[in-house]
Amino acid sequence: MTGSISAVSVARARRTRTEPLSWAAIDHLARHDDLPGLTLLLLATPEEERVALAPAVDAGIKSADPDRWWGRRGNPNPGYALAVIGCMPSAARAAAALGRRGMRLWTQGSPEFFLEIARSRQLPWLGDLGRRLADRIPARDPWAVDWRFITAVLREGGVEPPVTEGFVRGWLGELFDSPGRGQRRAPLVQRMREDPYLPLLLPAVFEIDRLGAVVAGGSWDETTNRWESAPRFPGVVAELVAEGTLARPAILDLTVDRLLRGGKPHDVRPFVLLHDALAPTVDELAGHAADYARLLPEAPGTVATLAQRSLRAVDEAGRLELETLLEASQPTLVRTEKTLVKAQLSWLERVARRQPDRAGEVLETVAAAFGHPALDVQERALTLIGKQAGRLDPATVGRLAEASAALAGDLPGRAAELFGTVAEAPAAIPQLPPAAPPAELPPPIATAGELAEELVALCHEETAVRWERVLAGLVSLYTVAGSAALATALQPVLDRYPSTFTENSWNRTSPGVYLGEAIRAALDTERPGVWRRMLAGIEGRQLLRVSQRTFDAVRTAWQGGVRGGPDAAFAPTPDGVLALRVAEVAVQLTRTLVPAVVATPTHVTGSLDPAVLLDRLRRAEAEGWQPWPVDFEQALLRLPRQADPAVVAGAAELTSPAGQQFAAWLAAGGLPDPVSTRWEQRPATVDQQYAPVARRAVAAVRPARDGGLRLERQLLTLEPRSFPQLWPDDFRRRGDVLAMVLPHHREVTAAWMLSELAALADQDQRDGAEVLPLLAECGGPVGPALAYGLAYSLGARHQESRLAAVDALVTLAARPEPFAPAVGAALADLCADGLVKLSRLVPALAEIHLAGASVALWELLTAALPPLLPTGQRGLPDLLELSTQVAGAVRARSAIPGLAEIAARPGTTRLVKEAKRLHSVLHP
């Protein structure tokens, strides 16, 4: 409701006022959306009475029900803000009241009544209030209504706004946001020209880095009456410069300074466009030559291209010092953007011809490109130098020959012929040092306070290591410290995180629910405590239901090792073993005298040292207790394939049932490797438009034997569906929990996760690849599941996923187990029809080469290239170029089927050229 309050209305209200101003009256009028009535009441009250009511207003705002912040019709209620401006004695008190959390929506109404009250009071601090409110506008995502209301207060108070990120962002939003339905506005250039804040706030758009993203997007174009996706900021600012509204030197300086600070390409793009729109003259470009020389080697690609173009214009005008060009060129020539580097080489070639007396200096700078990762760039630099080498003095030729040691592939021989030197013997074949053993698990939790801290951390970030420490700590501390000590430390955690430790509709299979059960069991000195809670009401009955369901589910697992099914308590997938183990603790903790779990791993991979398990079982026999069934089976599944003979002999001396089973397990060599086979999924519908992917390679797993442990068959049985899953996320961010179940059978873990790993490449998902470095440290043969998982991750959409695959492959390369041919074959299968993009793959493989795993990488490439060569896939020349570099590093001399045929083709396509290069390295 809007309107104004006349002086006659205020006078009449003062004469007829029958009750004093009170918080109750304010509250009633505000909650009924009667803003004119509330304004009249405030204006009709003398100033002394209003100020005297300020403490009551403050207290009322603090204690009011949150529902009262909304009006009767469901609209935001600004009525309490009128009480603030009408009663508070200072800007500080008013700003504090308006800044309370419950007052978040106070700006949703019109500022008219707010300002009318302020005018009536003739507040000298209104401008100060506006500044304080403006300072609080958040830097990210300010509300447009907040900005408009606060701006009205600032203007009424006659003060300039603070130049903060939040206020400037709100100003830009007001300028660029589309108008409401049916509204028309003046063109953007006119609104900016007439905006009183333009001189004050526009420089901040250049000076606050994050604001580049605000002006990089599209906006509503009033002339065409539609949304334009291209940024309009550069063109409008250039137009204001051209007409003289903005000073050209100042805007150009601000633009170049902003480019110098750098940032993400999206953030700097509008300033690149503005620089182009300004079209600086040669004089202006020469004045900034030193700035462009700084941008050329270091700035993002688009900015570096701008700098290169600008410097070249200065050079063509004869106003660029050669020293400046050479100093900027050397680091530029090793940039990854080949187009930029090749343009720089062409420029330097022209300069060398133009200034023959200084050609030696120029060509020594060109030699910096010998260190470029791309062979075609190295070759171009060598060819350029070769054209002018005859005019160089012997000393310069000698220095160029020394620089040619950085060349790779077939280029060292060509350089030796050019410079009249003998090609150096290839360096030693790179070898990775032996892989370090996996890190050990952190020390056990020693106190109840430390357990509480780890529980809180677990609520914020679940990790497998943290779960193992919490589980072991709870069981051991219950025996050592007792219920009272645990209650003091852990009850506040249960109270603070009820959604984690109490069952609700979305967490029924979560281990957190059963951990809550286990903790509550540990805190009850007697089981009747559950009945006391039950009598307390619905919450107690719910806890009792969960307790009974937990017991039934654990008993079912004990009998047959089965998890999952209708109304399941535990997930049927391997990560459900963790929830089952936690539930077993909840059931057994107060029923049996078991002072420790035996499955706690000794290493972060989940591996358990057989000697440690032997000590735990000896303790159990000495103290007269047996491990819990699921806990003991998990311990056996974590043992490595081989144990020290002394441990095997010690296990044979054990007499308890668990001890004898342990001895038999070691003697048999542990869990037999399951059978893992490649499984191809195809869309369930013939309409490819609705299929998530054209095909997906996954793996099926089945046990290699009948019988075995109770947990065994369900863990080792995976029958994939026949069609690809859309957006698979069964193990999202829980891969480490999955890996710890079978740390010496990583192929099984990879098979369960393979759909998610595939989606990294074929559906551009983000999470999942972080498990790969952990699997590389685990044990077991590399089968189709892990091979395809690595292949998919190398071609993932997001860089962090590709880097995880690189880390995993480098770790595998330092271990004796063969893996590279299987991964190479998987890559060829996925890339042959474009399912995985070679353009993503090659940079990741290059990182493996740089990390020193060149021997394994060559094995991978020799498996991948033969089936890929006939496909002619985009990116194949880059893969051949990398293969040439790797082949030279490992001194490979093996033939690759199909390579000679491509190398013998006529023509100068890059594919033929790179095939010839690789063939010449393999057959010198």
Using the predicted structure, report yes or no on whether residue 661 has a pLDDT greater than 80: yes
Torsion sign (Cα): 770, 775, 776, 782: negative
Using the predicted structure, report yes or no on whether residue 1 has a pLDDT greater than 60: no
HEC sequence for 62-122: HHCCHHHHECCCCCECCHHHHHHHHHCCCHHHHHHHHCCHHHCCHHHCCCHHHHHHHHHHC
* Confidence class for position 3, pLDDT limits 50, 70, 90: low
Using the predicted structure, report yes or no on whether residue 95 has a pLDDT greater than 60: yes
Query: Closest Cα to residue 768, out of 795, 743, 804, 742?
Result: 804
Q: Which of 237-251, 369-383, 534-548 has the lowest mean pLDDT?
A: 534-548
Q: Which of 30-44, 620-634, 676-690, 828-842 has the lowest mean pLDDT?
A: 676-690
Q: Taking a C-beta distance cutoff of 8 angstroms, is the pair 128, 118 a contact? A: no
* Confidence class for position 179, pLDDT limits 50, 70, 90: low
Q: Distance (Å, rounded) from C-alpha 353 to C-alpha 368?
A: 19
Task: Output the DSSP codes for 775-817.
Answer: HHHS-S---HHHHHHHHHHHT-SSHHHHHHHHHHHHHHHTSSS
Residue 435: alpha-carbon gap to chain centroid = 28
**pLDDT for res 70:** 43
Sequence-distant (≥ 6) Cβ neighbours of residue 682 within 8 angstroms: 695, 722, 723, 724
Using the predicted structure, report yes or no on whether residue 355 has a pLDDT greater than 70: yes
Q: Distance (Å, rounded) from C-alpha 561 to C-alpha 920?
A: 60
Q: Tell me what the mean pLDDT of segment 702-709 comes to.
A: 92
Coil, strand, or helix at residue 628? coil
In the chain, what percentage of residues exceed pLDDT 90? Answer: 67
Amino acid at 619: R
List b or e across 807-830, with b for residues whose CB sees 16 or more CB atoms inside 10 angstroms: bbbbbbbbbeeebbbbbbbbbbbb
**pLDDT for res 231:** 86
Residue 655, phi then psi, degrees to nearest 5: -115, -15
* Confidence class for position 535, pLDDT limits 50, 70, 90: very low
Q: Distance (Å, rounded) from C-alpha 689 to C-alpha 501?
A: 43
**Domain range list for the chain:** 7-162, 280-419, 448-667, 675-922
Task: Output the DSSP codes for 204-241.
Answer: HHHHSGGGHHHHTS-EEETTTTEEE-S--HHHHHHHHH
**pLDDT for res 657:** 96
CA angle centred on 601, ends 595 and 605, rounded to 5°: 160
How many other C-beta atoms are found inside a 10 Å radius of the C-beta of residue 643? 22
HEC sequence for 699-732: EEEECCCCCCCCCHHHHCCECCCCCCCCCCCCCC
Using the predicted structure, report yes or no on whether residue 763 has a pLDDT greater than 60: yes
CA angle centred on 848, ends 846 and 849, rounded to 5°: 65
How many other C-beta atoms are found inside a 10 Å radius of the C-beta of residue 663? 20
Q: Distance (Å, rounded) from C-alpha 673 to C-alpha 677?
A: 12
Coil, strand, or helix at residue 519? helix
Using the predicted structure, report yes or no on whether residue 588 has a pLDDT greater than 70: yes
Coil, strand, or helix at residue 333? coil
**pLDDT for res 534:** 41
Using the predicted structure, report yes or no on whether residue 527 has a pLDDT greater than 50: no
* Confidence class for position 771, pLDDT limits 50, 70, 90: very high
Identify the H or E element spanning 258: helix 248-261
Q: Distance (Å, rounded) from C-alpha 431 to C-alpha 27?
A: 78
Query: Closest Cα to residue 819, out of 861, 786, 852, 778?
Result: 786
Q: Distance (Å, rounded) from C-alpha 830 to C-alpha 835?
A: 5
Q: Distance (Å, rounded) from C-alpha 401 to C-alpha 415?
A: 7
* Confidence class for position 724, pLDDT limits 50, 70, 90: very high
Q: Distance (Å, rounded) from C-alpha 838 to C-alpha 832?
A: 9
Using the predicted structure, report yes or no on whether residue 521 has a pLDDT greater than 80: yes
Query: Closest Cα to residue 292, out of 267, 315, 264?
Result: 315
Residue 555, phi then psi, degrees to nearest 5: -65, -40
Q: Distance (Å, rounded) from C-alpha 107 to C-alpha 144?
A: 10
Coil, strand, or helix at residue 680? strand
**Beta-bridge partner residues of 736:** none
CA angle centred on 656, ends 655 and 661, rounded to 5°: 95
Using the predicted structure, report yes or no on whether residue 501 has a pLDDT greater than 70: yes
* Confidence class for position 29, pLDDT limits 50, 70, 90: confident
Using the predicted structure, report yes or no on whether residue 72 has a pLDDT greater than 60: no
Q: Tell me what the mean pLDDT of segment 529-549 comes to.
A: 51
- Using alpha carbons, list the distances in angstroms from residue 883 to 61, 109, 272, 915: 71, 67, 37, 10
Q: Distance (Å, rounded) from C-alpha 813 to C-alpha 5?
A: 81
Identify the H or E element spanning 265: helix 265-278
**pLDDT for res 68:** 45
Task: Output the DSSP codes for 860-891.
Answer: HHHHHHHHHGGGT-TTHHHHHHHHHHHHHHHT
Q: Distance (Å, rounded) from C-alpha 844 to C-alpha 367?
A: 26
Q: Distance (Å, rounded) from C-alpha 167 to C-alpha 219?
A: 19
CA atoms within 13 Å, Cβ hemisphere of 679: 21
Using the predicted structure, report yes or no on whether residue 539 has a pLDDT greater than 50: no
Joined together, the tokens standing for residue 719 give: 């029958």
* Confidence class for position 180, pLDDT limits 50, 70, 90: low
Residue 711, phi then psi, degrees to nearest 5: -75, -15
**pLDDT for res 31:** 79
Using the predicted structure, report yes or no on whether residue 622 has a pLDDT greater than 80: yes
Query: Closest Cα to residue 788, out of 763, 833, 755, 810?
Result: 755
**pLDDT for res 429:** 77
* Confidence class for position 182, pLDDT limits 50, 70, 90: low
Q: Tell me what the mean pLDDT of segment 746-760 comes to.
A: 96
Q: Tell me what the mean pLDDT of segment 41-62 comes to.
A: 90
**pLDDT for res 507:** 75
Q: Tell me what the mean pLDDT of segment 460-475 comes to.
A: 95
Using the predicted structure, report yes or no on whether residue 104 has a pLDDT greater than 70: no
Q: Distance (Å, rounded) from C-alpha 578 to C-alpha 168?
A: 51
Amino acid at 668: A
Q: CA-CA-CA-CA torsion for 766, 771, 776, 780, nearest 10 degrees?
A: -120
Q: Which of 213-227, 328-342, 484-498, 710-724 has the lowest mean pLDDT?
A: 213-227
**pLDDT for res 692:** 77
Write down how long the chain is. 924
Q: Tell me what the mean pLDDT of segment 703-716 comes to.
A: 92
Q: CA-CA-CA-CA torsion for 288, 290, 294, 300, nearest 10 degrees?
A: 20
**pLDDT for res 74:** 37
Using the predicted structure, report yes or no on whether residue 91 has a pLDDT greater than 90: yes
Q: Distance (Å, rounded) from C-alpha 512 to C-alpha 74?
A: 38
Give helix 854-868 / helix 820-831 axis angle, nearest 10°: 40
Q: Distance (Å, rounded) from C-alpha 290 to C-alpha 307?
A: 10
* Confidence class for position 538, pLDDT limits 50, 70, 90: very low
**pLDDT for res 696:** 95
Q: What are the tens digits of pLDDT across the range 861-908?
A: 999 999 999 998 999 999 999 999 999 999 999 899 999 999 999 988
Joined together, the tokens standing for residue 190 give: 């006119």
Using the predicted structure, report yes or no on whether residue 482 has a pLDDT greater than 80: yes
The distance in angstroms from the start CA to the end CA of the chain is 88
Give residue for tokens 């990210």.
140
